[in-house]
Amino acid sequence: MNRPIRSLLRVGVLLSLTTLASCLFHGSVKDPGADKVSAELSQLQADPQLASRAPVALKEAQDAVAAAQVAQKDPAESAHLVYLADRKVQTARALAEARVAEDQLKALQGP
Amino acid sequence: MKTHRAVLRLSAIAGLALCGCATTPKTATEAIRNASNAVINAEDARAADYAAAEMRSAHEKLNAARALAAQITTDPNDPNRTKARWLAEEAAADAELADAKARKVRTQSVVRSLQPAPSAPIMPPAADLPVAPPPSVDLPVPDAPAPAPEVPAPESAPVPAAPTPDAPAAAPPATGV
């Protein structure tokens, strides 16, 4: 086995473990609303009529939900991240529903 | 060899991803500018007509963020710095939601206005006329299959004995005019 590769591997594993440890052990908490907003996002993603209608807004919602899932040291920051995630998920849903309505409108107005 | 390289790459990616939880790059000033733009966009779309609560929240939070930002000291650890940024971020999210809701509700109401009335699923009115433009004309038609009706006064005397039970909702406004 190549020695430099083995030492690099060791450094990589060590780095990720220490980062994980620092995140886990500085007394951080996750807001109880984080799981609820994550479930709302899953519901939107599972809706065949809406899931693909607003891709950019949906990506923003996914990122915001992922951020809200990370435990924070300050509970106020957790609450803030959950608030943002909730708004982003609702925005993605509203935009997707708007696109559905726009398609219906086009169909009604005809070719 | 190959697997080790893959493990190395994975652990590096994991390390980088976890480092992400420590970064908060945006400044309060930048966040307030974003929020202000989002509120202006939503106002341009008349979002308050359709999502009043979200717009009110956006305005209140943006004002609070500005007020806090005005009190920020030169201390880089001033808590007002973070609070102002959070408020501005929430204001922007509120305004964007209001904008999206307005767009949805407005389009849905146009769709509803163009769709044929759900109370008249029977064919006759659709058969003689184009559906949308004259919705009140279908009152005298049902009992007159021939092109020339005997009674030549359609709007003044829609004799109450004549109408069939299929259009009870349309009768009152027609007689009123």
pLDDT band at residue B74 using 50, 70 and 90 as cut-offs: confident
Residue type, A84: L
Q: Is the pLDDT of residue B16 over 90?
A: no
| Domain membership flag for residue B55 | yes
Question: In terms of residue numbers, what domain contains B55?
Answer: 25-105
The residue among A7, A19, A22 with the most chain B CBs within 10 A of its CB, best to mutate, is A19
Which stretch of A105-109, B98-102, B128-132 has the lowest confidence by average pLDDT?
B128-132
B108 CB neighbours in chain A (<8 A) are 97-98, 101
Q: CB contact, 8 Å: A90 with chain B?
A: yes
- Rounded CA-CA distance A86/A83 in Å is 5
- Tokens encoding B23: 């970064």
| Domain membership flag for residue B42 | yes
Q: CB contact, 8 Å: B18 with chain A?
A: yes
Helix axes A33-46, A75-109, angle to 10 degrees: 20
Domain boundaries of chain A, sorted by first residue: 1-27, 31-109
DSSP A72: B
Can you tell me whether residue A29 is helix, strand or coil? strand
Task: Give the pLDDT confidence of B88-104 residue by residue, as tens digits.
Answer: 999 999 999 999 999 99
CA distances to A78, A81, A84, A88, B31 from A69, rounded to whole Å, are 9, 9, 12, 14, 22
- Tokens encoding B27: 């400044």
Are the beta carbons of A53 and A7 closer than 8 angstroms?
Answer: no
| Domain membership flag for residue B168 | no
| Domain membership flag for residue B146 | no
- What pLDDT does residue A26 have? 53
Number of domains in chain B: 1
Helix axes B79-114, B28-44, angle to 10 degrees: 20
- What pLDDT does residue B132 have? 45
Task: Give the pLDDT confidence of A10-59 residue by residue, as tens digits.
Answer: 766 655 555 555 445 456 778 889 999 999 999 999 999 999 999 999 99
Task: Give the pLDDT confidence of B148-171 residue by residue, as tens digits.
Answer: 444 444 444 344 443 444 434 433
